[in-house]
Structure 1
Amino acid sequence: MITLPRRFALRCLAPLFLVSQLWLSAAPVPTIVPDKAAGVYTPGETVSWTVNLKSEAGVPAPDLVYKIKKDGEVVVSEGKLDLSAGPVVLSSSRADAGVLIIQVMPPEKYALPLAVGGAIYAPDKIKPAAPEPADFDAFWKSKLAELAKVPVKPVLEKIPDAKNTAGVDYYKVTLDNIRGTKVRGQLARPSAEGKYPALLVVQFAGVYALDQNTVVSDAKSGWLTLNISAHDLPIDESPEFYKNLKDGALKNYIYIGSEDRETSYFLRMFLGCARAAEYLASRPDWDGKTLIVTGASQGGLQAFATAALSPKVTGLMAVVPAGCDNYAPRAGRAFGWPYWLSTWGPRDRDMKKVETTAGYFDGINFAARVKVPSLVAYGLADETSRPTGVAAAINVLKGTKEALILPLSNHHGTGGAQNAYFSRAAQWKKAVLTGKTLPPAAQ
């Protein structure tokens, strides 16, 4: 499965990405499968990956190399990989809790991986790389107090002629947030009078318009659904509008204000999530019992923050949540998104200040304050939301929790590798609509 590199990294690594793209166009992509279907191992046990390359008859296998890394960082073995005669089995092991990652790539220096595989050891024993800030709770209490001083002032614009909304009322929504900013999103609910369970959807990374179907499809099933943008932006402008922002004012937005917890771009984002949950719970058409927050990648990070900051949230569902274990390099682990402690991003950052800030926005520290039922899934081939960090976040969750390990999944779930999560999430939502408690019995 292809591991797609981070979008902002492509700008500084464009020539290297071109090399990998040439390989992708010249030959089939390798597959990497562990000998245990679940990809879970006990310390000291050997994992054996089968690396295969199905090419057309008469097409020579390309020259490839491999690296096996402990926690995605420390290389434990590497070498040439000859797939011309068929599949090759590569093995490794580790004696402690953590992850082994195998990368297959062209031999060119700095070439990006064509395929990634993984294995996880004792996932329930993986711990955060560093302790949380001593005043984490005090800081976020003060920020919620700042938010509480700002009236919500909801503005709803009903869109009566929206497509595919039969039986559903669909709105654009604006809420007031801290320091003159706004929370912008879309809301849908069944047209019939009644009280409904609420679903708050928070968005993955990037700068883009919101998809109307995100809320409409769930509203047709019986949910009061609010989907909010991660940015203070209109939700339905042209692609060019968002592209200009992505390449301009919001380029590498993850680093904006990262030297200070008071200026971090994520401060407004996370408080906007808390505001959205507050608004949903204030609506007369909410059933007063169920408010689930859900998201993928950056949305998973926001889901952890929302569930920690909002007492109205009653459940959490997240797939490949990003932003967990910002201090991973301190424990010899590879960094993941948002890469704050990496050398990527603006070169003029004061890294000591960034390190201080990072703990206040780490998904693990929010997860430690989540007491509601949680469904969290992560991929073993994910080099964006590192499995070590997500496992550590799951381990500190305080409520009933269900962890789904996706053994073949990269960050994007290539080839349907995240289907197990989406199937289970549908079961969670069905349980709510049929009056059952969370988590529902496995089916």
Structure 2
Amino acid sequence: MPLIDLPYEQLLTYTGRNPRPADFDAYWDRALAEMRAVDPQLELVPSSFQVPGFQCFDMYFTGVRGARIHAKYVRPERAPEPHPAVIMFHGYSMDAGDWLDKLAYAALGFSVVAMDCRGQGGLSEDKGGVKGNTLHGHIIRGLDDHPDNLLFRHIFLDAAQLAGIVMHLPEVDPDRVGVTGWSQGGGLTLACAALEPRIRRAAPVYPFLCDYRRVWEMDLARNAYEELRQYFRHHDPQHEREEEVFYRLGYIDVQHLAPRIRAEVMMGVGLMDEVCPPSTQFAAFNKIQAPKRLEVFPDFAHENLPGLHDKIIQFMLGL
């Protein structure tokens, strides 16, 4: 098999290159305390999209720093209560997607929630208000400000806050909630499961937002990670602050959150992925201490992985 990364045997033991800030745990404990102090002001608005047997809502809640976050919510009309729920996270710059893919889970008796990440393709707000670059690039948003203002900090907290909201819905069994997503959605799946330890099952697929220095060293700061290159070109052209930059990015590096995960994890990975290199994904996977397994696709890149959607839905049926 052609190699774009480390041999598979080395991937299984790889533990990452990006530094972990010394105050990482205190940073996220402080962030969670901020999140818990927010009144979410939950609002459910019946959607214009409705189909027989289900109820579809636009869900809104207030996240950290006052941003109003949107999600699509589908619940089955006749499922016993309380019943399990699945939370979905979308790819970078995209949105929660159509209602159709939520109906498969709802038809099996799940409530389903799909979040729009703030400031991306959906309806969630980006309140802004940080120093530095805001032209594009959520990874680097807030990098020149206090670490508490990193935008992905807020997005990770949105994911965790949403999970807590879902667990408190009267129709949902709080002990039977799972999370899933691909690419950025995979990174948010891991972050959500880390920051909300009551999550029972997590199915990330080729997770983004892991091991930034490794991406840089592989010369793959393009596509989804292009903003890393643009940051250096515009803000540190001689790399005088390179160590500081990657240290700060460590606060929002999912691999460092992975040890907090208590959910059972099933992760999908394509070994030819040049968007989210396999080693960066394994940096997170290898730090998970909860029950876990891999679904490996040796000849596939950052693309559809045949049969994996079916495996994920079967995995969630175990909730």
Q: TM-score range by the shorter chain?
A: 0.7 to 0.9
Q: Distance in 2 between matches of 1:347 and 1:338?
A: 17
Q: In the alignment, which residue of structure 2 is the partner of 1:367?
A: 258
Does the CA contact (< 8 Å) of 2:189 and 2:204 recur in 1?
yes
Task: Determine the structure 2 residue equivalent to 1:125.
Answer: 13
CA offset digits 1:120-165 (Å, max 9, x no partner): 3333221211442221110011011111111111011012x524x2
Q: Which runs of 5+ in 1 are unaligned?
A: 1-33, 35-48, 50-67, 72-97, 100-119, 238-248, 433-443
Which residue of structure 2 aligns with residue 302 of structure 1? Answer: 188
* Equivalent residues of 1:258, 1:357 under 8 A apart: yes
Does the CA contact (< 8 Å) of 2:198 and 2:263 recur in 1?
no
- One-letter amino acid matched to 1:427: Q
Q: Match for residue 135 of structure 1?
A: 23
CA contact (8 A) 2:16 2:283 kept: yes
**C-alpha displacement of 1:180:** 1.2
How do 1:323-402 residues align onto structure 2 when only pairs under 5 Å count? 323-328=209-214, 332-335=217-220, 339=225, 342-345=228-231, 347-350=233-236, 351-352=241-242, 353-402=244-293
1:228-377 mapped onto 2 (5 Å cutoff): 228-232=115-119, 235=122, 251-260=136-145, 261-328=147-214, 332-335=217-220, 339=225, 342-345=228-231, 347-350=233-236, 351-352=241-242, 353-377=244-268
Which amino acid in structure 2 is aligned with residue 311 of structure 1?
A: P
Counterpart of 1:190 in structure 2 is 76
Deviations 1:95-115 (A, max 9, x none): xxx24xxxxxxxxxxxxxxxx
Cα pair distance change 1:171/1:233, threshold 3 Å? farther
Name the one with the larger helix percent.
2
**Cα–Cα, structure 1 residues 365 and 209, in superposed 2: closer, same or farther, change >3 Å?**
closer
* TM-score, normalised by the number of residues in structure 1: 0.63
The equivalent residue for 1:221 is: 108
SS of aligned partner of 1:426: helix
Distance in 1 between residues matched to 2:94 and 2:203, nearest whole Å: 22
- Answer yes or no: is the 8 Å Cα contact 1:259–1:349 preserved in 2: no
Q: 2:53 aligns with which of 158, 167, 171?
A: 167
Secondary structure in 2 aligned to 1:173?
Answer: strand
| Cα distance, 1:236 vs structure 2 | 6.7
User: Is contact 2:261-2:288 (8 Å) kept?
Assistant: yes
TM-score by length of 2: 0.86
CA–CA distance in 1 between the matches of 2:186 and 2:201?
Answer: 13
Deviation at 1:340, TM superposition (A): 7.5
SS in 2 for 1:399: coil
Residues 327 and 341 of structure 1 are in contact (CA less than 8 Å); yes or no, is this contact kept in structure 2?
no
CA deviations over 1:355-409 (Å, ceiling 9, x no partner) = 2221011121111221210000111110111101112211110100011111111
Secondary structure of the residue aligned to 1:316 is: strand
Letter in 2 for 1:339: Y
Distance in 2, matches of 1:146 and 1:286, equals: 25
Deviations 1:30-54 (A, max 9, x none): xxxx2xxxxxxxxxxxxxx5xxxxx
Q: 1:375 to 1:329 in 2, by over 3 A?
A: closer
Give me the whole-angstrom Cα distance separating, in 2, the residues matched to 1:232 and 1:122: 37
Q: 1:201 aligns with which of 64, 79, 88?
A: 88
Which residue identity lines up with residue 150 of structure 2 in the other structure? S
- Return closer, same or farther for 1:401/1:265 CA change in 2, 3 Å cut-off: same
More strand by share: 1
Contact 2:76 2:111 (C-alpha < 8 Å) held by counterparts? yes
Higher relative contact order (CA 8 A, sep 6+): 2
Change (3 A) 1:130 1:234: closer
Residue of structure 2 in register with 1:86 after alignment: none
1:61-76 correspondence runs (5 A): 71=5
Deviation per residue, 1:62-115 (Å, 9 max, x gap): xxxxxx76x3xxxxxxxxxxxxxxxxxxxxxxxxxx24xxxxxxxxxxxxxxxx
Structure 2 unmatched ranges of 5 or more: 125-133
Distance 2:298 2:114 in 1: 29
**TM-superposed deviation, 1:338:** 5.2
SS at 1:255 equivalent: coil
Equivalent residue number for residue 81 of structure 1: none
SS of 1:344's partner is: helix
User: Between Structure 1 and Structure 2, how many residues are aligned?
Assistant: 302
Q: 2:72 & 2:205 partners in 1: Cα distance?
A: 21
The alignment partner of 1:368 has SS state of helix
Contact 2:179–2:202, Cα closer than 8 Å, also in 1: yes
Give 3-state SS (helix, strand or coil) of 1:357's partner: helix
Q: What is the CA–CA distance in structure 2 between the aligned matches of 1:139 and 1:364, rounded to whole Å?
A: 15
Q: Percent identity?
A: 24
Distance 1:173 1:234, change over 3 A: farther
Q: Which residue matches 2:131?
A: none
Displacement after TM superposition at 1:341 (Å): 8.5
